[in-house]
Amino acid sequence: MKRFIALVALCLAAPLLMAKGNKEPADGTAGVRIGVAKIVQHEALDACEKGLVDALKARGINAEFDFQNANGDMNTAAQIANKFKSERVRVAVGIATPIAVALANALVDTPVVFSAVTDPVGAKLVSTLANGQGNVTGLSDAIPTKEHIALFKEIAGISTLGYIYTSSEANSISALTQVEEACRLLDIRLVTQTISTSAELRQAAEAIVGRVDGIYLTTDNTVFSALPSLIQVFETAKKPVFSGDVTGAFSGGCLIASGFDYYKAGLATGNIVAEILAGKKPADIPVKFLTDPSESDMLFDLDAAKNCGITIPPQYLARANYIFENGALVKR
């Protein structure tokens, strides 16, 4: 009888012990399915994706992720959006403008969080930056284009600037307007070249390199997915590259790179997702911007500077938190 009583007591206690050992949140976020799609794979968008995952883990959200990559194809982007719709994901995250737009168009009842979108109003994801719209909100990676080009002119003596962009990307069209305005204000002649796919980037670089003093790159995902081919063309011509994305410059070749830390952009995006999972409506969440200086990076490539015959002033080197020299990246 004693053995029987002990066995019954053990059976009754087991669920309590299991519950005590279960650290999953009790707010309904355990095991939620989150769809995460990016328009193409490259270092910045990969870092953003990682930051998103880490942010949710840090907040104790044990999510199940469905990671998708559209590989730069809008038909694939639409298929991914329909996949998320049929699977009834709890939240859909679109990293970069084209995939975010595809998700917003397809998912009208599911919260959609965009990330790394340069101009969310121009892309018609929201009508104002003061808050989300309907089931959509997110984070913008708009960069200070005029300040970038002014710095490029001062350090590299640029008088004719090259700019290659993807004609089908809404964020790139918005960025072009800012580049044109900056060049007008700074008295710089602008030479542009368009591409449709990453496979066209080398040819575009070869077509433009002889007509410019250097090239400026905004956060065009198609360009950055094939960045080494462009860098090789400009290295051979001994002409400088300014990148609006620091992550893409970590392997060398860009004289100057200044932009947001895309891992931290992912962290901020993950926090937006967490707010939605906690019950907040996307329409009540303002569009997030990275405004803290700690959320941005600056890189100077001394190998590229030497190749182009350019000297980086000491006051600017002192501001950099990354230096590329002798084929190696050093973080300060």
pLDDT at 170: 79
Is residue 11 pLDDT above 50, yes or no? no
Predicted local confidence at residue 291, as pLDDT: 80
Q: Given a cut of 50, is residue 289 above it in pLDDT?
A: yes
Least confident range of 28-37, 90-99, 149-158, 220-229: 28-37
Give the model's confidence band at 223: pLDDT under 50 very low, under 70 low, under 90 confident, else very high.
very high
The full set of domain ranges for the chain reads: 33-141+262-292, 145-259+294-331
**What pLDDT is recorded for position 100?**
97
Region 33-141+262-292: CATH code: 3.40.50.2300
pLDDT grade for 46, boundaries at 50, 70 and 90: very high
Identify the pLDDT of residue 20.
37
Q: What is the mean pLDDT of the chain?
A: 90
From residue 31, alpha-carbon distances to 109, 135, 247, 315 in Å are 20, 21, 31, 50
What does the pLDDT average to over 25-31?
54
CATH architecture of residue range(s) 145-259+294-331: 3-Layer(aba) Sandwich (3.40)
The secondary element (H helix, E strand) that includes residue 323 is: strand 322-325
Domains 33-141+262-292 and 145-259+294-331 share a fold: yes
What confidence score (pLDDT) does residue 292 get?
A: 81
Q: In what order do the strands lie in the sheet with 112-117?
A: 64-69, 33-38, 91-95, 112-117, 136-140, 288-289
